[in-house]
Structure 1
Amino acid sequence: MEANEHNDLKNLALQKLRALVQHPEAQFHDGQFEAISALVQERRRALVVQRTGWGKSAVYFISSLLLRQQGYGPTLIVSPLLALMRDQVAAAERAGVRAAAINSANVLEWREILSKLERDEIDVLLVSPERLNNPSFREHQLPMLMKRLGLLVIDEAHCISDWGHDFRPDYRRIRDLINRLPQGLPVLATTATANTRVVQDVAEQLSGGTQEVFTLRGTLARDSLRLGVLRLPSPRMQLAWLLSHINDFHGSGIIYTLTVSAAEDIARLLRDAGHPVAAYTGRTDLEEREKLEQALKANEVKALIATSALGMGFDKPDLGFVIHVGAPSSPVAYYQQVGRAGRGSIDADVLLLPGQDDSEIWEYFATSSMPDQQRANQVLEALGQTDGAMSVPALESAVNLRRSPLELLLKVLAVDGAVERVAGGWMRTDMPWAYDAERYKRVAQSRVHEQTLMIDYENTRGCRMEFLTKALDDPKSAPCGRCDNCAGTWFDDHIPDESKDNAQAALVRAGVQIEPRKLYPSGLQRLGHSLKGKIPVDEQLSTGRALARLTDLGWGNRLRQLFADPVDNPVDPAMLEACTRVLAEWNWEQRPVAVLAMPSTKRPQLITSLAQGLAQIGQLRYLGQLEYRGAPPQGGPGGNSAFRIAAVADAFEIPAQIDQMLATAPGPVMLVDDLADSRWSLAMAGRAVRIAGAPGVLPFTLGIAG
């Protein structure tokens, strides 16, 4: 590039930067203009690995504007999260970039956005990776974009790689998209969380095997963060510590948990103690998420108690702290989440409170994200035997797999080219497919290694920031001088007795609703059953109660231990007393008149003693126990609704003496079980009880899954 051209481009780019950050004297960070030049002037493919807050979005917004001024088409940004899209659109508008997003949160705006795109009135279009597999977008909008595209951006590009901490099957489609791009179209991939292995993998996919990739990799240390680890012996002590010390942290922040239930429990406890906090999880609807994000940005809440649903792309430069109650499964994932703090301030605190059950939760998420060979073959066989498309509900009736893991498996198979999503469902393609056992074995081993590193981080006596940056293969890793190991403990670990008592009171709270099943799943006819449509009202259960979810911090821990024990014992007095409190707070329309126990081959003593104990305390008639008609149903938890119903629909027998009592029961019957998983066993047993004459069935269990 000639010197004059270089200077002219830099001056133009600098004007765009100052408009973007709204600062008249702003200057580029090291490497920012070099990346812009590689895209705009040299039209190369580039990979930028820089710490959170470095300004990766500035590179692609400025490059987009400069390319548009040269007459090129719009930029397509593949972005993983709605929060990220909202922030990016807002940032783009500050720089005069006409940006729009197509995602599940703005369906009503799609038609207008696509019209603007056709009229060339959009500079930057943001889409989710899932959108690339939407039949309409893939067949209509994407080809139009590909003809006119000026720049392709893959944000959070570590998601492309199997080895990335947040690998997503839909991101692998981007590799195929890149391979279809015309020669000379610039491509930018950005991430803050990639070790050498991920960098090499992403760069190889960017190159398409033919082009050299410009790679810009900076130091990842975050000078503004003060790291620490506080080990506490129990969830009670963690909650008590939060009650005592959340106000020690300046500003507002995020408290991360590993499960939805933990986020909801902690948020409730802190709210009840007068702290302005809210839960933010995968259960939070999209409109409420946006409100909560804005409340945190405006410092209207002290903290959001969040799962990883609040993650990549959330941008609050003055976020004062990040606390983890339970550790993420790898140092790389932890670095990504703590990177939310201190982006625009000189000080931010980061504290990890490891949990006793972390490794169990890590194992669950690691295994649930891996495709199962037997299930995959069943899906392919079912699709191969069908003419035309097959819907997901129809597939559920052919493959004993729940909706979420089935959809994840379909994504993996689609990325591998074995299936294709079309209007009306999914189809088998002509491409042969074989389970890549070696690949998944390598990925599983990598996950185990990451988990071991996370435990090493918790236990290290060296610099914590240096540990994290070394885990990301940063060659410039060095001691930070600020963390608890470098400079001494900076947080107060004393917990007042009052806080311990309040935490204990919160944890012994009990009671979770069990929502009744009201609709049969489709596809039961394929499994030999005529049940379909709505469950008749006079065959439904009423809303029930459980002592706790298995994922709850309080009784959930006790229940997990109970169900892990292979020995069947009667219910212990403390648990029975907690169940009694749940019943005392149950605002039923009509009090039950009798108690009936579910049959069980694993825990008959537990269920019978629970049912008898509740009957005695409530001065209710104990009717006895239902029986199985023939052999007990086979299979454990898991599986989809159609298969669960097929296993239990005709499984329950009502003994003659109980049948006579039910026919004349003056009120509802409480149906007692140990665990509600799919709720179909309760629903089908309750249906039999209703048909026998009971005017109502109130289910009660110790635990409820999820």
Structure 2
Amino acid sequence: MGSPATTDDVRRSARDAAEQHLKALVGRDDAQLREDQWTAIEALAVDKRRALVVQKTGWGKSAVYFVATALLRAEGSGPTVIVSPLLALMRNQIQAAERAGIHAVTINSTNIEDWSRIEEQIAAGQVDVLLVSPERLNNPGFRDDVLPRLAATTGLLVVDEAHCISDWGHDFRPDYRRIRTMLDDLRPGIPVLATTATANERVTLDVAEQLGQDVLVQRGSLDRESLHLAVVRLKTAEQRIGWLADHLGELDGSGIIYCLTVAQTQEIAAFLRARGHTVAAYSGQTETTEREALEADLSTGRVKALVATSALGMGFDATLGFVINVGAPSSPVAYYQQVGRAGRGTSRADVVLLPAIEDRDIWKYFASLAFPPEQQVRQVLEALSAADRPMGTPALETFVDLGRSRLEMMLKVLDVDGAVQRVKGGWVATGEPWSYDEDRYRRVAEARESEQQAMLDYLATDTCRMRFLRHQLDDEVEVDCGRCDNCGGVSFSDQVSEASLGEAHEQLTRPGVELAARKMWPTALTNLGIDLKGKIAEAPATGRAVARMTDLGHGQALRDLFRDTTPDGPVPVPLVRAVITVLEQWRPNAVGIVHVESQRRGQLTADFADGLSRYLKIPVVGRFAIVDPSIEPGQGAANSAQRVAAVLRRYELQGDIPAGPVLLLDDLVDTGWTMTVAARALRAAGASEVLPLALGTR
């Protein structure tokens, strides 16, 4: 790097050029870079340094890397590579780049058919910016064929949402760890920018350390001057969605209604549409083309709101007037990130949190997906070491009782640690020594518990809410915002009209969800000595359950019923009524009843069968009986292969099965494999059709 005296002219020229690029980027002749933005751009484009920028949402982090890209490309540098986890943000960034004359493309899981063409453009030097999802970095073809060439030619590496690199961050993603390898492979003097709006001091130090030496760390104020924060406490789900129906129209502009589960997005969207609001549901399960259309509808105001999970992350140019959370995220930092979707490009945005008691159950579930115990990790490593070829995750599931997503997360961590490697065809063991960092995993788990308590403290605080959130991010201030409900800057009524309450109650108490049948046996059951494969020929019919455990209405009654502390007993009267309503709508034509025996809730399942026998006037003809109680309830439930094996060992069909349709009862359907294996046994015993019915489903 030259001395300041010899580079003053270069810096002035770069600043002038940067101002022109900004004007093109935002499409305004009066646009000017702020000094803090120029400081970051200068570090990258002039001094070729590495920088970590921790600035609030809407500060203009995207402008920094696009302007720096334009300056570097003008000097003849290679393309900028941006690693970003938000597909919606990628799409918005590409549109913004094109306005500034920057050719940007993306490689991610939704445009596989374009990969070859894009890779040819990259090789030909026709791409200014390549946006990639973190998962691409360890795709074998991309990692081995494309990544080395990118590392050799990249002019600027940008890591967006950089808190994901740190396992102390609220949204740690193992794929982000692969960025360390890319950093090591970059040529000397290649600038690197890491950006985030949600990093406390611990995460900031961790990310800066991973970036290397001589890193510019820029932390700005995380106050969001446009946001008016409030908490509205309502006791029941009916009151919460009734409140939405009554008050959504009072909020300015369009916005997001965040929910904790996919089922809630669908349920609330349906209710609000029935009440005349223009809304749509959005989640990770939404098809890609529909996602893009919904994002466009939101950003242009064609819908009042998207009812979404955290899968929705809008880009920097979306102008939203409000964010409502039905249910609290598990940490104030995650909450700050979600509410940051509002108030960009507008002087005011309302942010309302409607907490629920059941939020803690959902937090507990997600916490159960943490890094597995050492014994299970060793089982996977031993299976890979003993294999003579790469193993895919379906095959590995037969060796360890872990769900697919948790197993894949573990493999990614092991990959980064050097113990395994992803190759074409699956995973292989490297033979490198590996140690289980129990202390670190325990401290991360403790940090998550602390975050959950902090979220509860946010709900209960009578101090400034924005100051509370800023303190959680180590943005220490002692000045109140003057805009939140505790500061007197905003107030929302907790009143709900009788009409909305009545309609909400009617929808939430309307029972009945379908139980879709399993279509295919799990892969590699032969590893467990089970000769089942391919299509399931004896599958049950599509069945019914009263509700999902995550539903807002009967879901609460189910959660209460199936808590570990709830004693065994008969089916509660409200659920009896709900079952009768389901039967009136469904009208199954059965000649006999078989129930799945339960070790924990024997009285419940027996009462369920006897009560239905009296109501339907058909006999109980058998049971799917527990014959090996050493197989624990729910054993193997983490993945399909293990569950099928456990069910086959644990149960046996007993009774005199008639030749007609049979009603198969269970208390709670989780994976669906107990019903599937029981249906196979019933069909083999002569039943012409198997009709599943359960109180609840996951």
Q: TM-score, normalised by structure 1?
A: 0.95
Q: Find the aligned partners of 1:580 and 1:592 in 2 and give their Cα distance.
A: 15
Provide the rounded CA distance (Å) in 2 between the counterparts of 1:24 and 1:124.
Answer: 24
CA drift at 1:295? 1.1
- Residues 488-497 or 31-40, more deviating: 488-497
Aligned partner of 2:446 in structure 1 is 445
2:625 aligned partner, one-letter code: E
CA distance in 2: counterparts of 1:631 and 1:370, whole angstroms: 29
Find the partner of 1:41 among 39, 46, 51.
Answer: 46
Alpha-carbon distance, 1:476 to partner: 4.8
Q: How does 1:477-516 map to 2 (within 5 A)?
A: 478-487=479-488, 489-516=490-517
Is the CA contact (8 Å cut-off) linking 2:560 and 2:566 kept in structure 1?
Answer: no
* Aligned mates of 1:631, 1:224 — CA distance in 2: 59
Aligned residue type for 1:405: R
Q: CA deviation at 1:330?
A: 1.4
Deviations 1:144-188 (A, max 9, x none): 111111111101111111111111111111122212222211101
In structure 1, C-alpha distance between the alignment counterparts of 2:19 and 2:236, rounded to whole Å:
53
Offset, 1:650: 5.6
How far has the Cα of 1:654 moved from its partner? 3.9
1:523 and 2:521 equivalent? no
Shift of 1:646: 1.3
Range 339-348 or range 616-625, more displaced: 616-625
The answer as to whether partners of 2:522 and 2:533 remain within 8 angstroms in 1 is yes
| 1:581 alignment counterpart | 581
Q: d(CA) in 1 for partners of 2:271 and 2:67?
A: 45
The separation in 2 between residues aligned to 1:400 and 1:181, in whole angstroms, is 39
Which of residues 78, 82, 100 is equivalent to 1:95?
100
**What SS class does the counterpart of residue 412 from structure 2 fall into?**
helix
Provide the residue aligned with 2:66 in structure 1: 61
The answer to whether the 8 A contact 1:60-1:188 is kept is: yes
CA deviation digits over 1:313-349, x for unaligned, max 9?
5345320100111111111111111000011000100
Q: Separation in 2 of the partners of 1:573 and 1:280?
A: 35
Partner residue of 1:75? Answer: 80
CA distance in 2, matches of 1:651, 1:118: 57
Alignment of 1:258-407 (within 5 A): 258-311=260-313, 313-407=314-408
Residues 400, 640 of structure 1: 8 Å contact kept: yes
Displacement, 1:135? 0.5
Residue 205 of structure 1 corresponds to: 210
Q: Which residue matches 1:178?
A: 183
1:371 aligned partner, one-letter code:
P
Task: Report SS of the residue matched to 1:193.
Answer: coil
Cα distance in 1, alignment partners of residues 629 and 174 from structure 2? 41
Shifted more, 489-498 versus 146-155: the winner is 489-498
- Checking the alignment, whether the CA contact within 8 Å between 1:521 and 1:532 is kept in structure 2 is yes
Residue 484 of structure 1, CA deviation: 0.7
| Separation of aligned partners in 1, 2:8 and 2:629 | 84
Aligned residues of 1:511 and 1:547 also touching (Cα < 8 A): yes
Structure 2 CA distance for partners of 1:343 and 1:628, relative to 1, 3 Å: same
Q: CA deviation at 1:587?
A: 6.5
State the percentage of identical aligned residues: 52
Map of 1:433 onto structure 2: 434
Q: Residue 663 of structure 2 is aligned with which of 651, 657, 670?
A: 670
1:605 corresponds in structure 2 to 603
Give 3-state SS (helix, strand or coil) of 2:545's partner: strand
How far apart, in 1, do the equivalents of 2:478 and 2:507 lie?
A: 43
Match of 2:223 among 221, 224, 230: 221
Q: Give secondary structure in 1 for the equivalent of 2:218.
A: strand
The Cα of 1:630 is off from its aligned counterpart by 5.1
Q: Which amino acid aligns with 1:241?
A: W
CA distance in structure 2 between the partners assigned to 1:149 and 1:520 by the alignment: 45
With over 3 angstroms needed to count, the CA separation of the structure-2 counterparts of 1:180 and 1:220, relative to structure 1, is same
Report the more deviating stretch, 644-653 or 464-473: 644-653
- Alignment of 1:471 with 2:472, yes or no, is yes
1:15 aligns with 2:20: yes
Of 107, 110, 128, the residue aligned with 1:105 is 110
Q: Write the distance in 2 (CA, Å) between the matches of 1:488 and 1:42.
A: 44
What secondary structure sits across from 2:389 in the alignment? Answer: coil
Q: 1:258·1:307 contact (CA, 8 Å) conserved in 2? A: yes
Match for 1:578: what amino acid? A
| Contact kept? 1:543, 1:698, Cα under 8 Å | yes
- Counterpart code for 1:689: L
Residue 625 of structure 1 and its aligned partner are, at CA, apart by 3.0
Q: 2:35 aligns with which of 24, 30, 37?
A: 30
Q: Aligned with 1:693: secondary structure?
A: coil
Measure, in 2, the Cα distance between the counterparts of 1:652 and 1:583: 27
Checking the alignment, whether the CA contact within 8 Å between 2:231 and 2:352 is kept in structure 1 is yes
> What is the alpha-carbon distance in structure 2 between the residues aligned to residue 283 and residue 585 of structure 1?
28
Q: Is the 8 A contact 1:317 1:345 kept in 2?
A: no
- Structure 1, unaligned stretches of length 5 or more? none
1:611 Cα deviation from its structure 2 partner: 2.0
SS in 2 for 1:378: helix
> Corresponding residue for 2:553?
554
Corresponding residue number in structure 2 for 1:686: 679
Q: Which residue of 1 aligns with 2:618?
A: 620
What is the CA-CA distance between 1:277 and the residue it aligns to? 1.0
Confirm whether residue 592 of structure 1 aligns to residue 581 of structure 2: no
1:367 shift after superposition? 3.0
CA distance in 2, matches of 1:421, 1:558: 44
Counterpart for residue 699 of structure 1: 692
Rounded Cα–Cα distance in structure 2 between residues aligned with 1:269 and 1:612: 35
User: How far has the Cα of 1:513 moved from its partner?
Assistant: 0.9
Equivalent position amino acid for 1:51 in 2: K
Q: Residue 350 of structure 2: SS of its match in structure 1?
A: strand
Does structure 2 conserve the Cα–Cα contact (< 8 Å) formed by 1:282 and 1:307?
Answer: yes
Letter in 2 for 1:108: E
1:567 aligns with 2:567: yes
SS of equivalent to 2:143: helix
Instruction: Give the 3 Å change call, closer, same or farther, for CA 366–284 of structure 1 in structure 2.
Output: same
**Which residue of 2 is the match for residue 139 of structure 1?**
144
Where does residue 50 of structure 1 map in the other structure? 55
Instruction: Decide whether aligned partners of structure 1 residues 107 and 655 sit closer, same or farther in structure 2, where only a CA change above 3 A counts.
Output: closer
Q: Aligned-pair distance for 1:16?
A: 0.3
The offset of 1:15, in angstroms, is 0.4
Distance 2:465 2:646 in 1: 52
SS at match of 2:599: coil
Q: Deviations over 1:41-100 (max 9, x none)?
A: 100001111111111011111111111110111111111121111111111111110100
Which residues of 2 match residues 224-235 of structure 1 at below 5 A? Answer: 224-235=226-237
How far apart, CA to CA, are the structure 1 residues paired with 2:671 and 2:175?
28
Indicate how the Cα distance of structure 1 residues 143 and 270 shifts in structure 2: closer, same or farther if over 3 A, else same.
same
Question: What TM-score, normalized by structure 2, do the two folds share?
Answer: 0.96
Partners of 1:96 and 1:525 in 2: how far apart? 56
Letter in 2 for 1:612: D
Q: Deviations over 1:353-384 (max 9, x none)?
A: 11102222222212313232121111101001
Deviation per CA, 1:254-293: give whole Å up to 9, x if none.
0111111222211111112221111111221222211111
2:90 to 85, 89, 97: 85
Deviation at 1:545, TM superposition (A): 0.7
Question: 2:503 is matched by which residue type in structure 1?
Answer: N
Q: Secondary structure at the match of 2:397?
A: helix
| Cα distance between partner residues in 2 of 1:681 and 1:493 | 44
Q: More displaced, 225-234 or 366-375?
A: 366-375
| Cα displacement (A) at 1:489 | 4.7
CA distance in 2, matches of 1:173, 1:624: 54
Counting matched residue pairs gives 691
Distance change >3 Å, CA 214–CA 540, structure 1 → 2: same
Contact persistence 2:54–2:195 (CA under 8 A): yes
Equivalent position SS for 1:672 = strand
Q: Residue in 2 aligned with 1:642?
A: 641
Question: 1:221, 1:477 within 8 Å by CA — same for their partners in 2?
Answer: no
Deviations 1:515-557 (A, max 9, x none): 1122111221121211122222xx2211111111111111111
Secondary structure at the residue paired with 1:479? Answer: coil
